[in-house]
Structure 1
Amino acid sequence: MLSKLTLVELSDLPRKPHGCPPEVERSWARLVATYRSVSGLFTTLNELRAAQSDMRGAISESHRDQARSAIVFTAAGIDACLRTLLRDSLSTLLRTGGPAHGAFTRHFIDNRLKTAPSEATKRAVVALDPRGALIDLYVNDLTGSSIQCAGDLEDCRDALGLKKDPALTDAILASHEPFFIARQQVVHELDLVDPSGKGTRGRRHRDIAEVGAQCDGALRLVHAFIAPTARTVKKAQQSLLMGWTAT
């Protein structure tokens, strides 16, 4: 029975930000979808383990593969959530002179305008919607092909103007580095390298309880990005509305 097993489960997803603005809605929906997918993988894993003839026996590679899949699903969810959060919220945040606008300006001055502008930069400047095109370019610069390390998380945090948020300190973001290392090992090495140095005949060991904790922490971290961004966007909206009213 499942009660005899140490279950691999996600903690409850924190509540949706109160009065969640439209700029954050899509990111929240992606977080919910990711949570459900990963939770479903762990439910299946628990059921497979419960169906073993001897639940005290070694965990099979097929069970560990469920855990590996959870890592990949969680990482894909982080990419989707943060990319969407950046693209949708920056359109509002960059209309005020807050820290998000400062990070945006510094990025282009220090990286894309320090020398002759690249073709991509030129195309963005002359696009029908230059601000939207520049935001897309900015997000691509920040996230690359995927978010792969704590440093990428720091870039996303700073771009959203959340550098001073106590839930997103450098130390907290760095604590998630083992998850990203695991993701890279699963995706790029197919987990085939034996860390003992015995070649590639073995599979890299995955402790499923540790994987569960890493995925759970990573999803809660995404919420730690979404919640303050929702508050910051609402403040920016109020500031813009007051400006319009004053005119």
Structure 2
Amino acid sequence: MYVPNFDKYALSDGASTRSVKGRDILSYGIESIKSLYDLFEGARKKRAARGGYTTHAEQDLLRSMLVFSAATLDSVVKQVIRDQIPQIAKLPVTAQEEFRQYIVRHLSKGPQVNVDSLAASLAGADPRAHFIDAYVADLTGDSLQSKAQLLRAAAATGVNLGLQKADHDQLDKLFAARNQIIHELDYLTAKQKKKQRNRRNRGRDEVIKWSERLLGLAATFLKS
């Protein structure tokens, strides 16, 4: 049976970080996930569970672990964006190029561009600040629910995630699971049902490893 170590992803108070608030968010997330894990293990111990069978209540605890882990990553990434993008000139050249490309795309919208808003920003004391605010809003406007969004956030902040082929496959699977839980409650349609289960069954070890992976990514965004 796989035994997790969620605490290894926490950053100490004295550690260098891209975002102090983000570091605190990660700590809160880890504590919540540990509590859910303890509840899950406690429930199985109470009924002297053996093997891989889990009750509906235990499945909900596993689902909650994955959702909280994804929410922790989402919140950390957005905080790093809010703290780092205003200092775009200090970020890697690749991140600055992402910002430039954003401005190009924005100005290329043609008739869709709000002319009055654009004129006001260009005539203001700090036109760059206007585009930075718009860029931050664009990057943080939606919940983080796909690998593509994660990669875009990393590129925008100059974070090297160091992903390998296997990592890409894992991220696709875990984000798919995250979305199935949040948007569908893991409910199975008549065509998807297996045996008597009405909802997808999540494996203990897989969910725990996915949760650790999400916390690890959050820590990577924070480490400077």
TM-score band w.r.t. shorter chain: 0.7 to 0.9
CA contact (8 A) 2:26 2:76 kept: yes
The 1-side partners of 2:29 and 2:147 are apart by 20
Q: 2:147 aligns with which of 150, 160, 171?
A: 150
Establish whether residue 99 from structure 1 lines up as the match of residue 99 from structure 2.
no
The 2-side partners of 1:136 and 1:191 are apart by 36
Q: 2:109 aligns with which of 108, 111, 115?
A: 115
Structure 1 position 9, deviation (Å): 3.1
1:56-102 CA-to-partner distances (Å, cap 9, x unmatched) read 27310100100111111111111110000011012223356722211
Cα 1:81/1:123, change in 2 over 3 Å: farther
**For structure 1, which segment, 200-209 or 166-175, has the greater mean C-alpha deviation from structure 2 after superposition?**
166-175
Query: Could you tell me the TM-score, scaled by structure 2's length?
Result: 0.82
User: How does 1:56-75 map onto structure 2 within 5 Å?
Assistant: 56=50, 58-75=53-70
Residue number in structure 2 paired with 1:55? 49
The 1-side partners of 2:203 and 2:117 are apart by 45
CA contact (8 A) 1:86 1:160 kept: yes
CA contact (8 A) 1:153 1:173 kept: no
CA contact (8 A) 1:74 1:219 kept: yes
What RMSD over aligned residues (CA atoms) do the two structures have, in Å?
A: 3.1
Residue number in structure 2 paired with 1:125? 121
Residue number in structure 2 paired with 1:172? 167
Structure 1 position 121, deviation (Å): 6.1
Establish whether residue 27 from structure 1 lines up as the match of residue 19 from structure 2.
no
1:86-140 CA-to-partner distances (Å, cap 9, x unmatched) read 110122233567222111011120x211023247963983678754553342233
Gaps of 5+ in 1: 1-5, 231-247
Query: Could you tell me the TM-score, scaled by structure 1's length?
Result: 0.75
**For structure 1, which segment, 55-64 or 178-187, has the greater mean C-alpha deviation from structure 2 after superposition?**
55-64
The 2-side partners of 1:121 and 1:215 are apart by 42
Q: 1:80 aligns with which of 75, 95, 99?
A: 75
Amino acid corresponding to residue 204 of structure 2 in structure 1? I
SS in 1 for 2:8: coil
Establish whether residue 187 from structure 1 lines up as the match of residue 187 from structure 2.
no
Residue number in structure 2 paired with 1:245? none
Structure 1 position 40, deviation (Å): 1.1
The 2-side partners of 1:173 and 1:124 are apart by 42
Identity score, percent:
27
Establish whether residue 135 from structure 1 lines up as the match of residue 166 from structure 2.
no
Gaps of 5+ in 2: none
1:201-224 CA-to-partner distances (Å, cap 9, x unmatched) read 711111121101100111111112
User: Relative contact order (C-alpha < 8 Å, sep 6+): which is higher?
Assistant: 2
The 2-side partners of 1:134 and 1:35 are apart by 34
CA contact (8 A) 1:27 1:226 kept: yes
CA contact (8 A) 2:37 2:61 kept: yes
